[in-house]
Each structure stands twice: as C-alpha cells, then as structure tokens.
Homo-oligomer: A and B are copies of this chain.
Amino acid sequence: MTGKQFSSVWTRDPRPAKSPGRSREEIVRAAMELLDAEGLDGLSMRKLGAKLDAGATSLYWYVANKRELLELVYDEIWGEMTVPPEETKWWRQTAGAFAHSMRRVMLRHPWSAGLIGRTPALGPNALEVTSRLTRAFKGAGFRGLEIDYAASTLTAFVFGTTIPEVAYNEAMARDPLDEDSMREAVERAAAAHPDLLERMRESKPADLRESREMMFTFGLAAVLDGLEARLTA
C-alpha cells in the first residue's frame, strides 16, 4: 500500500437512478449545454443547479464533486469521435480519419481542450476509441509497446495542434479583437527578429481557417509518414 485508493467516477457504482429526481444523464446533458454556451469557466455547480431548477448543492447527490462531473462530460467528447472499423488494411486512413474527427470534436466543444490529456480517460466511450485505435495500429504491424507509442504520438499531435487553435478562437469569441491592431502589436513585439517579421508578412491573414487546415494536414502527413518509417525499420 503506497497510497490511497484510486478513485474516479468510473470506478464507483453510480446512484441507482430511480424514477423520481434527476439522473446523471440529465445532469451531464445540462452540463454540456452550459459548457458549450459559456466554456469551461462558465460551468459552476451553482449555475448548473439553477439550470436544472435545483438547489446549488443538490447535484452532490449524484456526483461526488465537480471533478467527477467533468469526467462524465469528458467521456461524452470521446463518444463524438469516430474511428472507422478496423477491417481495412489502410491504417493510415483509419488513423487520419480519427485525427480529423478528434480535431473537429475539439473545435465543436472548445471546453474539451481544457480536459483532454488532464482527465483520466476511463469512460466507456474513451475506452472504445482507444481500443479501436489500438487494433488499427496493431493491424498496421506495430507490436508490443510500440502500439501504445504510435497511438500516443498521433493523439499528442492532434491535441497539441488543436489546443492553441481553440484557445485563439475562445479568446476571439470572448472579446473580438481588431485584426490590424493585433498584427501591428505582434509586429512591434517581434521588431528585433527580422526572420520572424519576414515569416509574418509572408503568411497573410487571408483565410485563417484554411491555413490551419493546411497546417493540420501537413503535420498529420508528417506524423503518419514518420510512424510508417518506424514500421519498416
């Protein structure tokens, strides 16, 4: 015994969920609505209670604490990701489709960016996705620990790329910034670095959304190429 018991929503039995009263499903649905509308900081037990016409503290009957509630909504996120069935030998397509799907989900639910990688992914949906991904990489030819390494590399790339994207979107949504003033401020800050200025001028603001798409596609191709290289080595 080196420490206390591991505890997670997924390791405790939920309340029986009888007919009267609220249910976890109802609470999780309301929480997601609040999160989609107001972001991670916008979710408070008090607001959530109010939304459900309940006292602020009633929720503690269904959920041990806020962290557990977040574990619950977090798994919903995984439920929205898709991993094509593994039958195909084209693991690149499977992995690529998953990567795009994961990014789309994060963009759709920006608050998830604050949870991914920080919340234990032990819910049924997360396990299902992980399992499919595992099988895909196994089918590709990876063996032993490298199955995990390959899968981790892919997901690390996806959320490492998407977190900044989401953060930028969120900041902009919170208070829209004048693009010119921003550009000017950044140029002023980078004044001492000619190479950076050059880079900035070359990358026109043009269509931000499209340029991110390009960056994602570029990086994804690189990651998949790199994994493939590990396979034949």
Q: What chain B residues lie within 8 Å of A50 (beta carbons)?
A: none
Most buried by B among A2, A128, A188, A223: A223
A195 touches B159 (CB 8 A): no
**How far is it, in angstroms, between the C-alpha of A129 and the C-alpha of B133 when the chains are bound?**
35
User: Does chain B have a CB within 8 A of A178?
Assistant: yes
Contact A219 B3 (CB under 8 A): no
Whether a CB of chain B sits under 8 angstroms from the CB of A215 is yes
Is A211 interfacial (CB 8 A cutoff)? yes
Q: Within A115-137, which residues are at the interface with B (CB < 8 Å)?
A: 117-119, 122, 127-128, 130-131, 134-135
Chain B residue numbers with a CB within 8 Å of A54 are none
Q: Are A189 and B219 in contact (CB under 8 A)?
A: no
Q: Interface code A1-25, partner B: CB below 8 Å = 1, 0 otherwise? A: 1111111101100000000000000
Considering the chains assembled together, what is the distance between the CA atoms of A190 and B148 in angstroms?
15
**For the complex, what is the distance from the CA of A163 to the CA of B155, rounded to whole Å?**
12
Question: Copies of this chain, how many?
Answer: 2
| A218 with B189: CB separation less than 8 A | no
> Could you say which residues of chain B place their CB within 8 Å of the CB of A218?
146, 149-150, 153, 230
Residues of B within 8 A of A156 (CB): 156-157, 160-161, 219
Q: Closest CB-CB distance, A128 to chain B, in whole Å?
A: 8
Q: Does A34 contact B (CB under 8 A)?
A: no
Pair B163/A5 contact, Cβ less than 8 Å: no
Smallest beta-carbon distance A95→chain B, Å: 12
* A residues 212-233 touching B (CB-CB < 8 Å): 214-215, 218-219, 221-227, 229-230
Which chain B positions have C-beta within 8 A of A119?
Answer: 167
B10, B159, B160, B225: the one within 8 Å of A155 (CB): B160
Binding site for B on A (CB under 8 A): 1-8, 10-11, 117-119, 122, 127-128, 130-131, 134-135, 138, 144-150, 152-153, 155-161, 163-164, 167, 172, 175-179, 181-182, 185-186, 188-190, 192-193, 195-196, 199, 202-203, 211, 214-215, 218-219, 221-227, 229-230
Q: Give the top 8 A-B pairs by smallest Cβ distance, nearest first.
A: A160-B160, A156-B160, A226-B226, A222-B226, A3-B176, A153-B219, A6-B182, A225-B226
